[in-house]
Chain A
Amino acid sequence: MTTTESAPAIVPQFDSEPSGRTLAIICSKGTLDMAYPGLVLANAALGEGIETHLFFTFWGFEMINKKTMHELKFTPLGNTATHLPQGLGGVPWMTNVATARLKKSIAEVGVPEVPEFLEQIVASGGHLWACRMSADMNHLTLADLYEGVEDIISAADFIDKTDGAQLLFI
């Protein structure tokens, strides 16, 4: 019996070729807490070799506007999942306190702040796109946006670029 010698080696099957899978994530929120789901998922997809596009629209512009991307905030107001009395959310400085606490919790798990996270996504091969309508409404040009943003494009262009992609709206 020499069966052990003929057993095939167990080796992970990493596809060396791109899978052809594409992920499109629409980021439409401008709060600190809602910036992260899209960033974490984009980063995870890129790490699995999946082509990933992020489209920033409406309040999602806060994430890529050079003036605001470092200062996203979090408020317990209207968010019952914080389990705090809603009246507390309206107390002066509560937004700052809640933002600082959330930032600390995020840093503690080794996750970067939004600008650094975008940098990592771009370095991993991710594509960042800004919404034409949002840019026009706010009188912003590419120069006002994070340098990793490839272009300001229309919704139709984004749909075109992400033909066949799986799509997430956040």
Chain B
Amino acid sequence: MPVTTLDGHSIHVNDEGFLTDPAEWSEDLATTLAAQIGIQLTDAHWQVIRFLREDYAKTGETATIRRVSTAGGTPVKQLFALFPQKPAKKMAYIAGLPKPHGCV
């Protein structure tokens, strides 16, 4: 399990770069992770990221796009605008969580 250093944060990641220990995540780190993939976090992004964190703490699973829209309250269309092209993976990456396992 490689350790990588981003902007002074030393974090454990898998070979794709996703955090392997959600406990190493912080809001400060999220800003750094988002910048790595070209996203500057706005309030709307934060609402999604915080939902993902809370939901993961409760369920032990990364929310899918559908779950973020139905349970988290951010519409699907907006998710594609906030996290272009690959919302599910980008949201998970910034939130320091594994990629979602669910199909839908």
Contact = CB atoms under 8 A, between A and B. Distances in A.
A160 to B, nearest CB: 25
Q: Is the interface of A mostly helix, strand, loop or mixed?
A: loop
A114 B41 CA distance: 34
Contact of A125 (B64, B80, B90): B80
Interface in A101-156: 109-112, 117, 120, 123-125
A91 interface: no
B4 A14 contact: no
Q: How large is the interface on B (under 10, 10 to 19, 20 to 34, 35 or more residues)?
A: 20 to 34
Q: Which of A10, A18, A109, A117 has the most CB of B within 10 A?
A: A10
A47 B38 CA distance: 18
A113 B57 CA distance: 28
Nearest to A47: B88
B103 interface: yes
A16 B88 contact: no
Nearest to A4: B5
Interface in B1-30: 2, 4-6, 13, 15-18
Sorted nearest first, the 4 A-B pairs with minimum C-beta distance are: A49-B85, A123-B76, A10-B4, A10-B17
